[in-house]
Structure 1
Amino acid sequence: MITTILFDVDGVFLSEERCFDASALSVWELLHSSDYLGLSGERFSTALEERDIRRIRKLVFAHDDTLNFVKNRGINSNWDMVFMTTAHQLLHLLQKLMPTHEETVRKLLHQGIGREELQQIGHIVREEGISFAPDYTLFVPDFSSTKAEKQAVIRHLNVLAEEWFGVKTEMFSRDHPLWELGRTVYQEWYLGDAYFEQSEGSRPQTPGKKGFLENEIPLAEPDEIRALLRDLRSRGIRLGIGTGRPRLETDVPFQVFGFSEYFHPKHVATASEVLKAEDAFPEKSPLGKPQPYTYMKALLGTEVPDRRVIETPLPLENGKEVLIVGDSVADYMAAQSMGCRFAATLTGLSGKEARSKFEHLQADYICDDVLQLRHVLL
């Protein structure tokens, strides 16, 4: 008997499309804006039409081949996607610099790359007229040589650095300054100026971005989703959220669509809670999906100390009473770790094509959309 349902947000209630758009724009900005690397070939601007956004996303994520690849490997964070895609292109650029700037390249690979280092690299490229155009189609071939999953996929960048430069480094991780830089740029694009200041407590580095937060796309009619949540609650089922979105990015659209009232605030866990826990327990990092922390925090309650959440023995004794609803392999992996049931929704990036993947993984339920839970549970 199912007593608790924990939902992901993107790919279940809300479309991931705008998250992916913001991710692509972040990579594009980091590589082409004069505030960062400043590569030629693209004129950077924050005033973009929809057709511009579509073109940039197709370019940066190679017609979504890159997104499909990383999600199938268990990477669920848009911040991770920005970091991996940007760092991969940087490694290819450093290959061009290596013959004439070996000492500089080796130093960068040892000390890390932040905003100042990006500008330093860009200055060398422009001053010396070095020709470099990002080739995003190389991502999947370069990462296909590893069978790594989850956060280990990110560390494959360190393997590439050693293979290509003979430099042993551990700089390509979530502790890398470039990761935090990508996170900040993503937040600027996704939130827009006003919400960014509210969320981050500072002004954006590059103002003028409208943001996507108030233009979310629900994956079913909001009134039908509300009816489903109401009926589940009437059966005595406790409802929670475990999402890779930060708190603000969860609260705003849920309030707009009227979903918030069906979830107890103490059972809504977001990336904001993940970041706090990682700061408190760096030795346990990373804690984001596919690690089970997000769903465990939602299950136990946000008032429960993080140490207890992290150290709760898994799989759970009563795990089969808990259903996790998500669209990604990362959600499935988290459910497996917890010993919970899993319902896959086919409203994520791959759409209906994801059915065969979840059939192979033997998901407990596979639903065309979240509304089909009604037929499964009610």
Structure 2
Amino acid sequence: MPTLLLSNFNLHSCYMYQQLTTLIFDLDGVITSEKKYWNTARLTVWDLITSDSYLGLKNYFDEGEDFLSKLTLVGEKVISSQFVYELKRRAVNSNWDLTFFVMSLHLLGILNGVKANYPEAWSSIFKNPLPIKEELARLRSLLQKNKYNSTINDAPIARFWEETQLLTGTDVVEYVSLFSEKMLGAKLSYLQPKADLWQLCYHNFQEWYETKGNGVLPDEDTILDLESIRLVLQDLRDRYNYTLGIATGRPRNEVLQPLSQLGLLEYFDQKRIVTYDEVLAGEAILSRSGNSQKLGKPHPFVVLKALYPDENVGVFCSQEFQSLERKYAAYIGDATSDVVAAKQAGCLSIGVLTGVFGDKMADKQQTMLKDVGCDVILNSVLELPMLLGNNP
């Protein structure tokens, strides 16, 4: 019999589950697999560091002649699963942020080597900053001219984790800029969140995901057996009459297309599918009124938008509105950002132990979810009918 973590599950909890009418799902690690996204992040960082179009540091990761054919074997050297787990534990759930984060720390290690070995060149770089593509080209020329054999340096990563033990969410990514100042004694504007380097990582990530990775990256897949997931969604909607929605950090086309191909899109209320597109649109509306608030998880915006599709974005930013109880709804996710978003939206939080980590890290993931107040933790979405199916 499947095991439920019921540390927070009591008679009061049973009553709360009986009130449920609406289930909002995160996608990656819950329904869809994250492998394609994580391998896209690995390809993006590898390309930016080794390609002659960027830094040109061949074999920086000691990957041999053909990285692309060995992606699943050597990708761990670029971005390890443990690294991703640490970011998830800190409620950083964006693959673009992951890519920017890793690229920034590798770049800082390389720049630190330049500062130590070529002080005059470093002085020029510091005093005369260039747009990021030109900056990488200048750095590539310097490294090649001096035959500087830079290889992977994990020290900046270890130091960063040590300095940020208490940070979570966007604070982790925003600390990259301050970390560069402390490490190099210089403020590099392109290391700011959403600045030049983030944008370069974002655009290259999307190129690899959408076109350049064809034949290299795996196809979109479900985290568990497709037919089993389909039957669960069908039961929840048709047999037990739950309204199903989606709240994810994926772009809209990367939700609709794969779910349609997998035959799962039909089970979700189309008005209750909230994606990164809605996050960007909401942020744009806020910015026009001088509000620079970010709406990605762990902010509850995506969950609340799925519950109130026609409501104004400004309402979702109201502490009074967020504090209302919505025990008729539950948000199902696999990361701390999902739990925090659910709690801040006044919903129940249902955690699942699926994802790339698998059984090896299930205990850590369970602890991670429990520590941020997840109401109940399941092995997977396949256990949802057992938890909810007997409720009216």
**TM-score, structure 1 normalization:** 0.87
Which of the residues 99, 109, 129 maps onto 1:82?
Answer: 99
Which of the residues 237, 245, 248 maps onto 2:253?
Answer: 248
Q: State the alpha-carbon separation in 2 of the partners of residues 157 and 113 from structure 1.
A: 18
- In the TM superposition, residue 244 of structure 1 has moved relative to its aligned partner by 1.1
Residue number in structure 2 paired with 1:365? 376
Q: State the alpha-carbon separation in 1 of the partners of residues 216 and 203 from structure 2.
A: 13
Which of the residues 280, 287, 297 maps onto 2:305?
Answer: 297
- In the TM superposition, residue 48 of structure 1 has moved relative to its aligned partner by 2.4
SS in structure 2 opposite 1:155? helix
* Distance change >3 Å, CA 31–CA 242, structure 1 → 2: same
Q: State the alpha-carbon separation in 1 of the partners of residues 88 and 114 from structure 2.
A: 31
Residue number in structure 2 paired with 1:103? 123
Contact 1:68/1:349 (<8 A) preserved: no
Q: Deviations over 1:194-250 (max 9, x none)?
A: xxxxxxxxxxxxx5744647x122123323222222222233322110011111111
Residue number in structure 1 paired with 2:51? 33
Contact 2:132/2:190 (<8 A) preserved: no
* Distance change >3 Å, CA 276–CA 45, structure 1 → 2: farther
Residue number in structure 2 paired with 1:334? 341
Q: Deviations over 1:251-296 (max 9, x none)?
A: 1111112111111221101112212223333433422111112222
Contact 1:65/1:140 (<8 A) preserved: no
* Distance change >3 Å, CA 47–CA 135, structure 1 → 2: closer
Residue number in structure 1 paired with 2:387? 376
Residue number in structure 2 paired with 1:48? 68
Q: Deviations over 1:297-354 (max 9, x none)?
A: 22211x4443344347343423222100000111111112112111111002433231
1:176 equivalent in alignment to 2:195: yes
SS in structure 1 opposite 2:245? strand
Residue number in structure 1 paired with 2:23? 5
Q: State the alpha-carbon separation in 1 of the partners of residues 348 and 213 from structure 2.
A: 44
What amino acid maps onto 1:181 in structure 2?
L
Residue number in structure 2 paired with 1:356? 367
Residue number in structure 1 paired with 2:13? none
Moved more, 344-353 or 11-20: 344-353
1:221 equivalent in alignment to 2:225: yes
* Distance change >3 Å, CA 102–CA 347, structure 1 → 2: same
Q: State the alpha-carbon separation in 2 of the partners of residues 167 and 138 from structure 1.
A: 15
Residue number in structure 2 paired with 1:196? none
What amino acid maps onto 1:82 in structure 2?
T
Residue number in structure 2 paired with 1:188? 207
Q: State the alpha-carbon separation in 2 of the partners of residues 18 and 124 from structure 1.
A: 34
The structure that has the greater radius of gyration is: 2
What amino acid maps onto 1:313 in structure 2?
E
Which of the residues 286, 296, 310 maps onto 1:288?
Answer: 296
Residue number in structure 2 paired with 1:197? none
What amino acid maps onto 2:123 in structure 1?
E
1:167 equivalent in alignment to 2:186: yes
What amino acid maps onto 1:343 in structure 2?
I
SS in structure 1 opposite 2:29? coil
What amino acid maps onto 1:174 in structure 2?
P
- In the TM superposition, residue 117 of structure 1 has moved relative to its aligned partner by 1.6
Residue number in structure 2 paired with 1:239? 244
What amino acid maps onto 2:122 in structure 1?
E
Contact 2:335/2:369 (<8 A) preserved: no
Q: State the alpha-carbon separation in 2 of the partners of residues 165 and 148 from structure 1.
A: 21
1:321 equivalent in alignment to 2:318: no
What amino acid maps onto 1:105 in structure 2?
I
Q: State the alpha-carbon separation in 2 of the partners of residues 66 and 19 from structure 1.
A: 14
Q: State the alpha-carbon separation in 1 of the partners of residues 127 and 216 from structure 2.
A: 36
1:69 equivalent in alignment to 2:81: no
- In the TM superposition, residue 184 of structure 1 has moved relative to its aligned partner by 1.1
- In the TM superposition, residue 131 of structure 1 has moved relative to its aligned partner by 2.7
SS in structure 1 opposite 2:123? helix
> Identity over the aligned pairs, expressed in percent?
29
Residue number in structure 1 paired with 2:75? 57
Correspondences of 1:131-170 after superposition (within 5 Å): 131-136=149-154, 138-146=156-164, 147-168=166-187
What amino acid maps onto 1:160 in structure 2?
F
How many residue pairs are counted as aligned between the two chains? 357
Contact 1:35/1:119 (<8 A) preserved: yes
What amino acid maps onto 2:88 in structure 1?
K
SS in structure 1 opposite 2:23? strand
Contact 1:94/1:105 (<8 A) preserved: no
* Distance change >3 Å, CA 173–CA 375, structure 1 → 2: farther
* Distance change >3 Å, CA 208–CA 368, structure 1 → 2: closer
Q: State the alpha-carbon separation in 1 of the partners of residues 67 and 176 from structure 2.
A: 33
